[in-house]
Structure 1
Amino acid sequence: MTTRRRSRFRRPRGPVEHVAAGIVALAGAVLVLRMVLAVGRVLLGAWPLLVVAAGCALVVAVVIRLRRAAAQRRRGERLARLRLTLAEVDALSDRQFEFALRDLLIRDGWSARQVGQQGDQAADVIGRHPRRGRIVLQAKHTKVGGKVGSQVMYQVKGTAGPAHRADIAVVVTNGTFTRDAKTWGDKHQIHWVDRDRLRAWAEQGVALNDLLGLRDGARRRAFGRPAP
């Protein structure tokens, strides 16, 4: 069995080897310099094309940004005028109802997103406001005349703070709430929006903070969690 010896560089020995090594290094440096100069000449000759390409890229980037800004502005203008009748709300699917509540929050000055899905821990829409804090909406789209019971209030109370770090929790339905649900919600700081309040919010354009009496600067230690 033969073993292969690892090849390794040996330091030059003697004047002849030092001179030879210097010549090799100089040749390598000259070769690299020539390559750099050749690339420089190519780029120098192509600079008009590079300038045009860079200009085109800049124009495209500006156009895309302006289009996005215009789209956001148009959407903001549409949402500012957003009105939904109860008949339109009743015709929505459960998921569409969640997106409608998100848009109503945005109309009222919140940054909001729809998050409802399986395992959402009693939160379908989460919003944030610079003065009012963080809000969690639980959406209950039901048939006309349907009632939401206290169990929903218990669920929201149990997750609004620990799971979602909410300052404000609201249950919204196009139906009604049982008397016990409303009483328990009022006692435990779980706001509720029933069919009558939803009409004022969605159809008549009353802002949610006015509807529920949410004061600016009233962020508090909600649901037993420490203030941020």
Structure 2
Amino acid sequence: MAARRRRLRKRTRSQVQGWGIVTALAAAVWLAGNWATLWPILLTVFTTSTVGAAGWMLWRAHHRAVGQDRQWRAQEEAKARELSMTEVDALSWQDFERYVADLCRRDGCSGVVVSGRSGDLGADVVGYLADGRKLVIQCKKYAPQRSVSSHDMQKFVGTARPEHGADVALFVTTCRSFTRDAQGLALRQDIAAVHRDLLGAWVKGAHLETLIPLNGRGNGTTRRAPA
């Protein structure tokens, strides 16, 4: 019985091999007879595949290079902002307020006044944008590792518009962040929360008008200041 099965398997393999040889020969004969028609098609397919593969590889390389360049630029810009901020860090809080006022004047604000005293109810710098809107700025000269608290933001919210009639209110600080509660309050009350990174961009030449729609995370506010 076992010998019969072995003979059967051997016969089956022989048949399969035989049919394979016949099929290969038939294909070879058919190709030989139709080669004049087939070779342009095969050449086109080969060329298209080669060009497509080369294009895909070039796209991948370009995409990778663009990503690396973007990352490098972001790192260099961050280094440049931080280098400029070391000079800002060396200012006293009074000089910091005057420096922020100078940035406003640089960007076309008029009638810019610095309070320079305690009891100013959050209006450290007051001026007017080029379109006539009143600008009120609270300046906080904090260490970089600190965060602006919700209490700080509440006091500014309570005075910027009710007391000073601000059309545009900025909270500018040298520290890196606002607490979550302070951030949320700034968004709800349409306060532009300018933390260290945004301030660094301002120092490096970003226009004040580009900072107004931003909050402390660099995202757009839920609404814009009235025109």
Whole-angstrom distance in 2 between the partners of 1:194 and 1:132: 25
Aligned to 2:199: 198
Structure 1 vs Structure 2 CA RMSD:
1.9
> What's the secondary structure of 1:197's corresponding residue?
helix
Provide TM-score, normalisation by structure 2.
0.55
Aligned to 2:20: none
- Whichever residue aligns with residue 188 of structure 1, its letter is Q
Whole-angstrom distance in 2 between the partners of 1:144 and 1:153: 17
Aligned to 1:162: 162
Whole-angstrom distance in 1 between the partners of 2:154 and 2:163: 14
Q: Cα offset for 1:167?
A: 0.3
Q: Cα offset for 1:208?
A: 1.4
Q: Cα offset for 1:162?
A: 2.2
Q: Cα offset for 1:132?
A: 4.8
1:180-228 deviation digits (Å, cap 9, x = unpaired): 21121011111110011011101x20011112238xxx7628xxxxxxx
> What's the secondary structure of 1:165's corresponding residue?
coil
Whole-angstrom distance in 1 between the partners of 2:211 and 2:152: 21
Aligned to 1:117: 117
Provide TM-score, normalisation by structure 1.
0.55
Whole-angstrom distance in 1 between the partners of 2:166 and 2:148: 21
Unaligned 5+ runs, structure 1: 1-83, 222-228
**What percentage of aligned pairs have identical amino acids?**
40
Aligned to 2:98: 99
Q: Among 216, 220, 224, which residue is 2:226 paired with?
A: 220
1:71-95 deviation digits (Å, cap 9, x = unpaired): xxxxxxxxxxxxx810001111000
Aligned to 1:177: 178
> What's the secondary structure of 2:88's corresponding residue?
helix
Q: Evaluate the alpha carbon distance shift between residue 119 and residue 129 of structure 1 in structure 2; reply closer, same or farther with a 3 A threshold.
A: same
Whole-angstrom distance in 1 between the partners of 2:162 and 2:181: 24
Whole-angstrom distance in 2 between the partners of 1:101 and 1:132: 19
Whole-angstrom distance in 2 between the partners of 1:192 and 1:213: 9
Residues 192 and 213, structure 2, Cα contact 8 Å, conserved in 1: no
Whole-angstrom distance in 2 between the partners of 1:98 and 1:130: 20
1:207 and 2:200 aligned: no
Q: Name the structure where helix makes up a greater proportion of residues.
A: 2
Q: Evaluate the alpha carbon distance shift between residue 197 and residue 132 of structure 1 in structure 2; reply closer, same or farther with a 3 A threshold.
A: farther
Whole-angstrom distance in 1 between the partners of 2:92 and 2:120: 18
- The count of aligned residue pairs is 134
- Whichever residue aligns with residue 183 of structure 1, its letter is G
> What's the secondary structure of 2:172's corresponding residue?
strand
Q: Cα offset for 1:157?
A: 1.2
Whole-angstrom distance in 2 between the partners of 1:190 and 1:102: 18
- Whichever residue aligns with residue 103 of structure 2, its letter is L
Aligned to 1:148: 148
Q: Evaluate the alpha carbon distance shift between residue 130 and residue 196 of structure 1 in structure 2; reply closer, same or farther with a 3 A threshold.
A: closer
- Whichever residue aligns with residue 98 of structure 2, its letter is F
Higher relative contact order (CA 8 A, sep 6+): 1
Q: Cα offset for 1:123?
A: 1.0
> What's the secondary structure of 1:151's corresponding residue?
helix
Residues 171 and 194, structure 2, Cα contact 8 Å, conserved in 1: yes
Unaligned 5+ runs, structure 2: 1-82, 215-223
